[in-house]
């Protein structure tokens, strides 16, 4: 029997009202969380790359416990490539999926050396060529290291953008496009810090605290 293709999801229509609501919601987030920032610790693009690969299926807090030792020991792409595989796996073990993460970090280091002279590239197009690097990781690096605006679609952005009525999509690339269409580019980096911050403290996956939420007034609360 032929299977029927699922109908494409209806997109959110970007209207002036939606943009106004979105900006008010953003203002409230800024007021509620003046210190919001990327919660992964890193000081350069290579560290950001390693930290974001380690953060897959792991909390930022756990990654931050592992990275001080790593960043002290491995300072260049060549250092990661030369690292003893078993030792490295042991060093990152507590972040989970350590076999795959070791492979990804070593493969990224290899490509950095072969193709980019050991230096981290500064464009989305080049960054996503690195193994283990998708648009999310690339946007973390571009925004936090090079101050190049982008929307970081992590698990919190995926969940909150839907609850807040900014997207109906499930695919991260489509959510990124939807959120970019609503907010001005000057707010993308800040929003990418505020949404995970709020998602961890108030609009959690299992228990959104709508009654105490600082943006409740501007949120349609689309909870599935």
135-164 positions binding ligand SF4, by CB under 6 A: 163-164
Q: How far is the CB of 136 from ligand SF4 (least distance, A)?
A: 21
Residues near ligand SF4 (CB under 6 A), total: 12
- The one-character DSSP state at 208 is B
Q: How far is the CB of 201 from ligand SF4 (least distance, A)?
A: 10
Phi, psi of 131 (to 5 degrees): -60, 140
Stretch touching ligand SF4 by CB under 6 A, among 63-71, 72-80, 150-158, 211-219: 211-219
Contact between 14 and ligand SF4 per CB under 6 A: no
Q: What is the C-alpha to C-alpha distance for residues 89 and 54, in angstroms, rounded to an integer?
A: 11
Contacts with 58 (C-beta within 8 Å, 6 or more apart), sequence order: 95, 96, 97
Contact between 208 and ligand SF4 per CB under 6 A: yes
Contacts with 215 (C-beta within 8 Å, 6 or more apart), sequence order: 25, 28, 29, 32, 164, 198
Q: How far is the CB of 170 from ligand SF4 (least distance, A)?
A: 17
Stretch touching ligand SF4 by CB under 6 A, among 10-18, 55-63, 173-181, 212-220: 212-220
Contact between 210 and ligand SF4 per CB under 6 A: yes
Work out the angle at residue 180's Cα, subtended by the Cα atoms of residues 45 and 124, and round it to the nearest 5 degrees: 30
Contact between 101 and ligand SF4 per CB under 6 A: no
Give whole-number Cα distances, 128 to 37, 46, 122, 137, 165, in Å: 23, 14, 11, 8, 29
Please report, as ranges, the residues that interact with ligand SF4 according to CB under 6 A.
163-164, 202-203, 208-210, 213, 215-216, 219, 221
């Amino acid at each position: 029997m032929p299977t029927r293709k699922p109908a494409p999801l209806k997109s959110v229509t970007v209207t002036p009202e939606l943009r106004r609501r979105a900006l008010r919601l953003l203002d409230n987030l800024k007021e509620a969380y003046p210190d919001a920032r990327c919660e992964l610790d890193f000081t350069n693009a290579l560290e950001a790359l390693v930290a974001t690969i380690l953060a897959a299926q792991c909390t930022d807090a756990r990654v931050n416990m592992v990275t001080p030792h790593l960043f002290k020991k491995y300072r260049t792409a060549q250092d990661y490539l030369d690292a003893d595989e078993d030792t490295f796996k042991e060093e990152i073990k507590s972040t989970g999926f350590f076999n795959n993460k070791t492979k990804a970090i070593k493969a990224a280091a290899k490509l950095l050396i072969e193709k980019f002279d050991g230096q981290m590239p500064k464009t989305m197009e080049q960054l996503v060529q690195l193994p283990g690097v998708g648009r999310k990781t690339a946007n973390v690096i571009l925004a936090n290291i090079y101050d190049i605006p982008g929307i970081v679609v992590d698990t919190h952005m995926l969940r909150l953008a839907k609850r807040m009525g900014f997207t109906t999509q499930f695919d991260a690339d489509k959510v990124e496009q939807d959120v970019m269409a609503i907010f001005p580019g000057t707010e993308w980096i800040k929003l990418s810090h505020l949404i995970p911050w709020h998602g961890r403290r108030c609009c959690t996956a299992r228990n959104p605290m709508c009654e105490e939420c600082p943006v409740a007034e501007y949120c349609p609360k689309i909870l599935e």
